[in-house]
């Protein structure tokens, strides 16, 4: 159920008094440059959708005002916990959070109230979540995570660098370095892959813990950027331009992408209702995002509302791309060597996977006709990329199709599921141990300065 607009704005403004050490200097009544409700100002909504949908989006004043509010809303419980860094130090906060996830809050000696509030918020599964559907969604998603995700995660990661307003935190936190890029790709892969394992999202499951760690990492980024990287500190994070770092609404596109693609597929087929399998995929996406701190209003359940929410986000985020920030992040992501060894087979896999991700990114996020944007970003696929994409599909598509069929056959589905779970666990070993941490000492002055353009 949606909050009233007044209640939502009260929650946004309350951040200033609830967490003054973090938000005390933020003017929540000022609209940052990143937000636009001007039809004459280009948004991130692709041109093929902008002319058709954006006028109607901007005419819905209440929906636009809600989008404006969510642009300024962080993660209140995780932010309050991260704001204890000067008192506890970031490593102690991480240790206490891990212990609370693994052993329960009672195991944490002298646990601060902020940690109790954080974990209790995650433990309180809302009524709008159907956990049986979540478990079924995880089962169905194991096929994609085992057989498709390893080939497209690089391209999906590039999609987060398409806009300087939402991408700048990645530059400031030092993600321009190749090792850091690989770590972030692996951490992202690890979280979404772990979430599909049986029981992973239960209270003491690894997915629950990973979600808590992701939230703390994002809150630490907010804290460090607002305390170290604002103009008065010699940095380039200007709240009047960028708002707050990583607002909850910026996490919505990545978190709800499976739900959005499912909704888009259903609507394209002329359906407004989901099939049972589609509904399960959507419910998994919604619950994952709830654990990541997103509010129900950004996690609708039906196809049209899912699409409208994504279009409103894209239609009110100002278009902004610069080669020093977005370009460097994109180039670092596309050039990084992903395998852990330099064997010939690994090198060949890296080459095919890179081209596969490039084609996937342009097809899924830009559209085949939008070659200008792909060229500007330096990810326009060439003939060799399409050839290697075809080679990759010779391996990917048969496995995807076979397991999709087996998942609906009694008895066979249990055998197939065991194989998929085994493969997912192998992938998690390849991704390595995810730290989900951010150290202010590693923040890149170069990354900040490169955004000056």
Q: Which pLDDT value is given to residue 439?
A: 53
Is 436 in a helix, a strand, or coil?
coil
User: Is there a contact between 317 and 274 (Cβ–Cβ < 8 Å)?
Assistant: no
pLDDT score for 358: 92
> pLDDT tens digits, residue range 344-353?
999 999 999 9
More confident residue, 80 or 172: 80
Whether residue 38 is predicted with pLDDT greater than 90 in this model: the reply is: yes
**Tens digits of per-residue pLDDT, 389-405?**
999 999 999 999 999 99
* Confidence at residue 374, expressed as pLDDT on a 0 to 100 scale: 79
Query: pLDDT band at residue 370, thresholds of 50, 70 and 90?
Result: low
Query: Does residue 293 surpass a pLDDT of 50?
Result: yes
pLDDT at 294 > cutoff 70: yes
Quote the pLDDT of residue 346.
92
Spatial separation of the C-alpha atoms in residues 322 and 24, rounded to whole Å: 30
Tokens of 45: 């909504």
Please give the average per-residue pLDDT across 231-243, as a whole number: 87
* Cα-trace Rg, the chain: 21
Residue 448 in tokens: 């900040």
Kindly state the average pLDDT of the residues 31-39: 95
Identify the pLDDT of residue 176: 55
Cα first-last separation, the chain: 42
- 146 lies in which domain range? 5-450
Q: Round to whole Å and give the CA distance between 163 and 354.
A: 21
Alpha helices in 61-104 (DSSP H): 61-71, 76-82, 85-88, 90-103
Supply the pLDDT for residue 112: 97
**CB within 8 A of 216, min separation 6: which ones?**
78, 81, 82, 93, 94, 97, 436
What three-state secondary structure class fits 43?
Answer: strand
Q: How confident is the model at residue 445 (pLDDT cuts 50, 70, 90)?
A: very low
From 280, 286, 329, select the one nearest 444 (Cα to Cα). 329
- On whether the CB atoms of residues 232 and 312 are closer than 8 A, the answer is no
* Confidence check: pLDDT of 229 > 50: yes
Statement: residue 183 has pLDDT above 90:
no
3-class secondary structure, 103: helix
What is 175-202 written as a DSSP string? TTSHHHHHHHHHHHHHHHHHTTSTTTTS
Residue 195 Cα distances to 17, 94, 285, angstroms: 35, 20, 10
Could you tell me the CA-to-CA distances from 155 to 343, 356, 357 in Å, in that order? 23, 8, 4
Q: Rounded CA gap, 97 and 86, in Å?
A: 16
Confidence tier at 48 by pLDDT (50, 70, 90): confident
**Distance between CA atoms of 335 and 101, rounded to whole angstroms?**
36
Q: Residue 19 and residue 76: Cα distance in Å, rounded?
A: 8
How many domains are there within the chain?
1
Query: What own/partner pairs with CB < 8 Å and gap ≥ 24 does 229-232 have?
Result: 229/172, 229/443, 229/448, 230/25
- Higher confidence at residue 114 or residue 376? 114
User: Which pLDDT does position 15 carry in this prediction?
Assistant: 96
pLDDT score of 287 more than 60: yes
Side-chain-side CA neighbours of residue 273 (13 Å): 2
pLDDT at 449: 43
Average pLDDT over the chain reads 89
């Amino acid at each position: 159920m949606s909050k009233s607009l007044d209640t939502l704005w009260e929650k946004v403004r309350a951040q200033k008094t609830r967490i003054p050490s973090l938000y005390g200097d933020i003017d929540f009544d000022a609209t940052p440059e990143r937000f636009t409700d001007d039809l004459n100002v280009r948004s991130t909504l692709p041109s093929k959708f902008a002319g058709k949908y954006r006028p109607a989006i901007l005419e819905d004043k209440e929906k636009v005002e809600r989008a404006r509010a969510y642009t300024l809303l962080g993660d209140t419980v995780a932010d309050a916990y991260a704001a204890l860094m000067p008192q506890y130090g970031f490593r102690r906060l991480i240790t206490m959070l891990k212990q609370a996830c693994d052993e329960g809050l009672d195991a944490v000696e002298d646990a601060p109230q902020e940690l109790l509030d954080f974990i209790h918020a995650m433990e309180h599964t809302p009524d709008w979540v159907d956990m049986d559907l979540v478990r079924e969604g995880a089962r169905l998603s194991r096929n994609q995570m085992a057989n498709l995700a390893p080939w497209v995660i690089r391209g999906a990661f590039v999609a987060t660098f398409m806009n300087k307003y939402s991408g700048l935190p990645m530059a400031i936190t030092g993600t321009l370095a190749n090792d850091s890029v690989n770590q972030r790709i692996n951490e992202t892969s690890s979280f979404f892959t772990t979430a599909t394992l049986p029981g992973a999202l239960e209270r003491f499951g690894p997915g629950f813990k990973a979600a808590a760690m992701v939230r703390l990492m994002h809150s630490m980024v907010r804290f460090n950027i607002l305390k170290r990287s604002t103009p008065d500190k010699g940095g380039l994070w200007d709240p009047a331009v960028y708002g707050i770092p990583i607002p909850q609404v910026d996490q919505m596109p990545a978190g709800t992408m499976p739900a959005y693609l499912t909704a888009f597929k259903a609507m394209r087929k002329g359906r407004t209702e989901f099939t049972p399998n589609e509904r399960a995929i959507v419910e998994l996406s919604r619950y994952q995002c709830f654990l990541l701190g997103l509010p129900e209003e950004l996690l609708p359940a039906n196809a049209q509302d899912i699409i409208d929410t994504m279009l409103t986000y894209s239609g009110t985020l100002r278009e902004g791309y610069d080669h020093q920030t977005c370009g460097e992040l994109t180039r670092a992501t596309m050039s990084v060597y992903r395998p852990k060894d330099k064997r010939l087979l690994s090198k060949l896999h890296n080459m095919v996977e890179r081209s596969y991700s490039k084609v996937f990114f342009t097809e899924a996020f830009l559209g085949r006709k939008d070659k200008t944007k792909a060229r500007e970003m330096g990810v326009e696929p060439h003939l060799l990329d399409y050839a290697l994409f075809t080679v990759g599909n010779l391996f990917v598509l048969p496995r995807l199709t076979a397991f999709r069929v087996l998942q609906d056959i009694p008895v066979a589905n249990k055998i197939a599921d065991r194989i998929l779970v085994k493969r997912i666990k192998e992938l998690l070993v390849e991704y390595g141990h995810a730290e989900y941490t951010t150290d202010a000492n590693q923040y890149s002055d170069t990354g900040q300065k490169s955004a000056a353009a």
